[in-house]
Structure 1
């Protein structure tokens, strides 16, 4: 007899999305069927709300999204924020100002939207990531001359910062090691990689796993009736938190190591396989 599943949390990039940032028909059908049976299906992503294909997801029955690595939880499709744990300007701006001295791509996720330095706009195509992700960044960012100043002047709280690094000919990434050292000197933040050799930081204690716990509380769902799927470092906590943690076949080794089950890859409808295995 299968363990009951009342809530399914799905990462997007590398999990629900294939390499072209598309959701397969098999995955869509499985999500739609789970939702029709009364199972809550939620997104769990490092992206901000603005990075979600809301119309498509809502049509499949997805009604919640844990975004920005757990810093903000939203209801779909009305963008109602039911939880936020963001970094205030006094916390995040000194870190941004230190990072602005280096040639890196920076994104700030604020109120569900993405903001970037204008100096980064012309170099997005230099980043080591799929073309579909580059197009997503071009399409969803608001560019400003001075990101830290913009945040200070408008007194904006930042849900998450994403830092991407330019690849070098020797296979390393410019300033990545130095930035890791800088971030490690700030105990008031949590940082990790969300994929493509990036670094992402939030307020200390913010994780996708905590976002799942909050969403369960909001919905009255027992955490022991949850299933989560993911592929990279920012998914480890939610895979540990959920009753059933599923790693994609394409997941990092450390993600597979802590998972309860390894499903098919994101190019082979691994989400659908996990849903059919445990929930349907």
Structure 2
């Protein structure tokens, strides 16, 4: 029996309108009744998922959790109590920020509370609206964040091949980072060794849950680490083609047609 389910948000749990369908909400409610943990595992910050927690009935509850910033942070939902935070050091974030300015990318710098975006364009603004509050900046350095806790940095461009070219040009800096892709538009940088798989196993350990008793659901490369370490790794129908073979199961339905409810019903509720 699975005791802990970790689920990605965008393009997985959420429909394209950024909300949770009635069918998915019902399935999660049934899990909760069984005492099974349903944990959001997201690249976003924990403060940005409060609407989703409200929709699925897990907002501000004790002994319920969120894995955020691609595994850099674990919080308890009650009062957003911080349990774990493993962010980027400012000098590394600064290097990434300066490198990003050489390319045609939007640069996101995630702190615990705020997402700062450099070189925002209209397409990115529309995508972010409803998903994450953000502050547009024009600063050429990150000196203004001295003393702040930086979770991650991401580069945004809808051309995946272009982002892969940037990754290939990072040289030795890449060895200090955990690099992934998400939403078919982001190249993401976390501290080396920090990813959703790390976050899932860390939380499972804190709850004395064996890895075999965990289930992970996602759709893109920043979900792959948790899909691979979980007892059962599930990809949505809309999962990135390049990682489908590494999933234990692919749903028949995508994020807009209750793929999460399908998986929960097949492997737990039925």
TM-score normalised by structure 2 residue count: 0.89
2:67 and 2:18 mapped to 1: Cα distance? 18
Whether 2:128 is the aligned partner of 1:134: answer yes
Retained in 2: the 8 A contact 1:31–1:60? no
- Give the drift of 1:177: 4.8
Counterparts of 1:95-244 in structure 2, within 5 Å, are 95-117=96-118, 119-120=119-120, 123=121, 125-127=122-124, 131=126, 133-136=127-130, 140-146=133-139, 148-152=141-145, 154-165=146-157, 172=159, 176-186=163-173, 187-244=175-232
Range with greater deviation from structure 2 (221-230 or 51-60): 51-60
Moved over 4 A (4+): 172-175
Superimposed CA distance per residue, residues 48-93 of structure 1 (whole angstroms, 9 cap, x where no aligned partner):
1132125515624782111111111111141112111111112221
- Aligned to 1:163, what secondary structure does the other structure show? strand
Range with greater deviation from structure 2 (224-233 or 57-66): 57-66
Retained in 2: the 8 A contact 1:58–1:77? no
After superposition, the Cα gap between the structure-2 partners of 1:272 and 1:227, relative to the gap in structure 1 and judged at 3 Å, is: same
Among 259, 265, 268, the alignment partner of 1:276 is 265
After superposition, the Cα gap between the structure-2 partners of 1:193 and 1:85, relative to the gap in structure 1 and judged at 3 Å, is: same
RMSD over aligned CA atoms reads 2.3
1:143 and 1:246 mapped to 2: Cα distance? 35
- Give the drift of 1:175: 5.6
Unaligned runs of 5+ in 2: none
Range with greater deviation from structure 2 (5-14 or 194-203): 194-203
- Give the drift of 1:103: 3.5
Instruction: Tell me the number of residue pairs that the alignment of Structure 1 and Structure 2 aligns.
Output: 263
**Equivalent in the alignment of 1:86:** 87
Retained in 1: the 8 A contact 2:221–2:243? yes
After superposition, the Cα gap between the structure-2 partners of 1:150 and 1:32, relative to the gap in structure 1 and judged at 3 Å, is: farther
Among 45, 49, 62, the alignment partner of 2:46 is 49
Unaligned runs of 5+ in 1: none
TM-score normalised by structure 1 residue count: 0.86
Among 27, 31, 38, the alignment partner of 1:30 is 27
After superposition, the Cα gap between the structure-2 partners of 1:215 and 1:105, relative to the gap in structure 1 and judged at 3 Å, is: same
2:147 and 2:102 mapped to 1: Cα distance? 22
Superimposed CA distance per residue, residues 143-169 of structure 1 (whole angstroms, 9 cap, x where no aligned partner):
3331633455x322321112112x5xx
- Aligned to 1:216, what secondary structure does the other structure show? helix
**Equivalent in the alignment of 2:7:** 10
